[in-house]
Structure 1
């Protein structure tokens, strides 16, 4: 198990204890189906938000989430659940305020339709388990009725072309890839408006540039980069050994261009003062820790957003760096099966979403049909 998954597994164990016994049973059920700890933590966040809403609306007698009884879920009406959906769509109550049980008002809507759909889907999964897949000592399901089965979610149909257009507007293309990496290393200093920010950037710019360049030169997932150990790097072959989704062992490649930034960082890695035997490639420092420790996924996500905002492309995320690589790869090497192997996709259909991103062939063909 990777370091990130170990950390998430420990956090999951800690968080599950805050929930009623039937949620713990659900989590055990999902574990048996090999759901990842990060996925299960996401479920718990969605359950917590719903349970706290029930408490705020006096729809339960419980004073804590753990005290919410099973029969209270069994007695929920369709109208109540629909009220929750309306609340998610129209309420100005922020999630942080609800989770802290300190309601405050803000002026903007908190959730997109996609996020709302995910939150309701999480509840549908829980209620389906409780009403159909669970079993008590008498062989009966925990719930006698499933109110969530009556809730319909509008499924947004999106074509490959529409998905490609959405990706295209939020990625780096051609020379933007190199300009962005160069900005991280050389240009961001101009945005450091305090001495402390400048010192922090100068400490981490080799690391940050290496992470971003490595993703852009190989299309790696952020978790794959964070979990890298020194022994996983095969510099002479430009390869990285890693365990991918589905626990698949793989050894994808990265470019010579990305290798330069990686080597530059490795030559300076000791300034993070790693402990003896520390194998993590990418390190971070903290005032409470005497040695450099493995960087966290959230830290990488935040640093990418920081640089992207300063660069002028605020929608760029760490996952969009992977999209950028995939799109550029197909533009230069039009072989989706090669890209599928590099990205570690199980299905070619997943890889093919990138085929239309920079493909103007359809536009040209349509234009030709109307030429005089």
Structure 2
């Protein structure tokens, strides 16, 4: 990798300041910076003011040719687009060469992977170990209240209102939403609060604490989920095991709600989606439901 010239370093520093001011999470900042550095390296020292749309398209083409998915290619495009948008807003440059480039077409109709209610109960039964109460509570928040991994990570003690049985959730786009806590879930949350690990810092407000005494990280939650899903599927032949992850618990929550007759608008609010179009991905129909629908037909065929 070539040494960064002063123009790049100034632009990168400005980009970081812009992202922090805009409220981007640490993880988003980290991934966007990595993408932008990769793009800048592809410029071979070209001045940012001389970058054209062709250079951005060339970069995106090269990453696709290296075998990345369309979704990853689109994320890298979003990173570069955000970078030039920041520089324009900070009045360092006036042109955004990444604007107007079409996204790659991803598979829109792919059904989300989820667990049905019986599988979900078996998964929660697979939660075990020294920190069982904590881990069970965070999985319940994702599977029966629809929280994202990052939202579980940012929860503070003060976000749980015991009297009103509500949870204040800080979601995407720096938006807050209040989610009702079902009565059956309350004992598990109460237990998690009672058994909360002692934080390393006395003023730590995180609801979920790691064994090191810090706020439980997103990566930590994902690893706990990976280990639990492995136990959940350990008796299945390898060919039958599915690629479950912590986010699949949120998929399960949305699927269960819609199957119970909840309207799409309510599910959108509970999930914290800014657009109802995002929520429609959960309106998938399973093969079993298709078979049940077809079995209701009264078929009268002529004799062969």
- Does the alignment reach a TM-score above 0.5? yes
Q: Residue 155 of structure 2 contacts residue 208 of structure 2 at CA under 8 Å; is this kept in 1?
A: yes
**Alpha-carbon spacing, 1:285–1:157, altered in 2? closer, same or farther (3 Å):** closer
> Aligned equivalents of 1:76 and 1:334: distance in 2?
48
The residue aligned with 1:283 is 209
Aligned-pair CA distance for 1:153 = 4.2
**Do structure 1's residue 351 and structure 2's residue 279 form an aligned pair?**
yes
The residue aligned with 1:10 is none
The residue aligned with 2:243 is 315
**Do structure 1's residue 154 and structure 2's residue 104 form an aligned pair?**
yes
Q: Residue 331 of structure 1 contacts residue 358 of structure 1 at CA under 8 Å; is this kept in 2?
A: no
Larger RCO, structure (CA 8 Å, separation 6 or more): 2
**Alpha-carbon spacing, 1:371–1:207, altered in 2? closer, same or farther (3 Å):** same
The residue aligned with 1:45 is 34
> Aligned equivalents of 1:224 and 1:337: distance in 2?
21
The residue aligned with 2:120 is 177
Q: Residue 255 of structure 2 contacts residue 283 of structure 2 at CA under 8 Å; is this kept in 1?
A: yes
Aligned-pair CA distance for 1:275 = 4.7
Aligned-pair CA distance for 1:127 = 4.5
1:1-372 to 2 correspondences below 5 Å: 19-26=8-15, 34=22, 36-38=24-26, 39-54=28-43, 59-60=44-45, 69-70=47-48, 74=50, 78=54, 84-91=59-66, 109=67, 111-127=68-84, 135=91, 141-142=93-94, 146=97, 148=98, 152-156=102-106, 158=108, 162-163=109-110, 166-167=111-112, 170-185=113-128, 202-270=129-197, 272=198, 275-286=201-212, 292-312=213-233, 314-358=242-286, 371-372=299-300
Q: Residue 74 of structure 2 contacts residue 103 of structure 2 at CA under 8 Å; is this kept in 1?
A: yes
> Aligned equivalents of 2:73 and 2:173: distance in 1?
27
Q: Which runs of 5+ in 1 are unaligned?
A: 1-16, 61-67, 92-108, 186-201, 287-291
Q: Which has the higher helix share?
A: 1
SS at match of 1:241: strand
Q: Residue 336 of structure 1 contacts residue 348 of structure 1 at CA under 8 Å; is this kept in 2?
A: yes
Moved more, 349-358 or 294-303: 349-358
Aligned-pair CA distance for 1:179 = 0.6
**Alpha-carbon spacing, 1:43–1:323, altered in 2? closer, same or farther (3 Å):** same
> Aligned equivalents of 2:210 and 2:184: distance in 1?
24
> Aligned equivalents of 1:18 and 1:209: distance in 2?
49
Q: Residue 229 of structure 2 contacts residue 245 of structure 2 at CA under 8 Å; is this kept in 1?
A: yes
Q: Which runs of 5+ in 2 are unaligned?
A: 1-5, 234-240
**Alpha-carbon spacing, 1:180–1:117, altered in 2? closer, same or farther (3 Å):** same
**Alpha-carbon spacing, 1:335–1:370, altered in 2? closer, same or farther (3 Å):** same
Residues 150-179 of structure 1 deviation map (CA, whole Å, 9 limit, x = unaligned): 855433463xxx24xx21xx1111211111
Residues 274-304 of structure 1 deviation map (CA, whole Å, 9 limit, x = unaligned): 6544432110123xxxxx2211122112221
RMSD value, Cα: 3.6
SS at match of 1:284: coil
Q: Residue 305 of structure 1 contacts residue 314 of structure 1 at CA under 8 Å; is this kept in 2?
A: no
Q: Residue 70 of structure 2 contacts residue 106 of structure 2 at CA under 8 Å; is this kept in 1?
A: no
